[in-house]
Amino acid sequence: MESAIEINRERSFAPYSALIGVQIFFGSLPVIGKYVLQVIPAFGLVGFRVGLTALTLAVVQCARGRFWLRNKGDYLRLGVLSLFGVTFNQLLFISGLSLTKASNTSLLAATIPIFTLFVSFILGFERLRVVKVLGIVLACVGVAILIDPRNASFSSQSTLGSSQSTLGDLLIVANSLSYGIYVASSKEVIMRNGAFRSMMWVFIFASIICVPVGAFAMATVDLPSVSLSIWAVILYISLWATAVPYLLNAWALARVNPSTVAVFVYLQPLIGFLLAVTLLGENIDLNFVIAAAMVFAGVFLATFRRRMA
């Protein structure tokens, strides 16, 4: 009897442990990505990340015997979704990360629910109530405080601390918009085919563009001079910071409420902040704290009613 209780207890905690792991893996990406981007060009890293993730998910799905889609029309749908969910998303994200701070990247990535809500409203999937509008406004003000449009003069003499960083921030915002479009418009096809199978095809389609682009970018790199530690981190980013979290998140989502998954997402930028300060020595100033507070408050208000439903 006691052993059965222990087994049930372990099963009940397993999804939460998986969600914590997901946030750690995703939250660490901006920091470890900065390390690789010192040597590997942004598009090259995207090629490795998307290609290896597609291969990993394909192997998993082949082993499960769930590779092909039931509805042939869904290949086109997932192909289009892959542009927003992976191709544009990853090219913008990694390019932005190469130009701005890891802490800024972690915070701006937290605006994805805001863009998802806004796109869902445009597509007629959501109704914007006053509290949600207030949340969107708060988050936008927080983003504006962080980016500071006064620095947006993109001259050839720009530095990381001003114009170049602002450009990187804007690319991360565009990345969040792209992924928001994907999340808002992908629910039906994902529910029809399952999260694992859908995600696999999204990455396969994205690799058709990202892998050749990445290979072209890598042509400028002296590959023999790239250290073993860099290749190890690239492998970590592709598997443990991409494929594994996607699989764990889908597994947990099948066992807990979506609202629970949404709450755990708040851990991701906090982990990114902590790692950026401790490992990269980035400075978290008052301006950043105010921006973070407004973004978090905005995301909370914009998604509050959905989580409480």
Residue 131 has a pLDDT of 86
Query: Are 265 and 183 in contact, with CB atoms under 8 Å apart?
Result: no
292-295-296-300 Cα dihedral, nearest 10 degrees:
170
pLDDT along the chain (309 residues), means of 10: 46 82 89 93 96 94 92 94 95 94 88 85 83 86 77 44 80 92 87 88 96 95 93 92 84 71 77 88 86 87 59
DSSP string, 101-113: -HHHHHHHHTTHH
The pLDDT of residue 232 is: 95
Task: Tell which residue, 42, 34, 33, has the closest CA to residue 214.
Answer: 42
* pLDDT attached to residue 154: 41
pTM of the full predicted structure? 0.84
Q: How far apart are CA 240 and CA 236, in angstroms?
A: 5
Residue-level pLDDT at 215: 96
pLDDT (0 to 100) of residue 308: 42
- Residue 151 near residue 163, CB atoms below 8 Å: yes
Estimate the share of the chain in helix, then strand, then coil, as percent rounded to the nearest 5: 80, 0, 20
Token pair recorded at residue 223: 């590959």
Q: Are 201 and 58 in contact (CB under 8 A)?
A: no
Count of other CB atoms within 10 angstroms of residue 210: 25
Residue-by-residue DSSP string for 252-264: HHTTS-HHHHHHH
Instruction: Find the angle CA(123)-CA(141)-CA(170) to the nearest 5 degrees.
Output: 75
Q: Report the pLDDT value the prediction gives residue 305, as an integer from 0 to 100.
A: 54
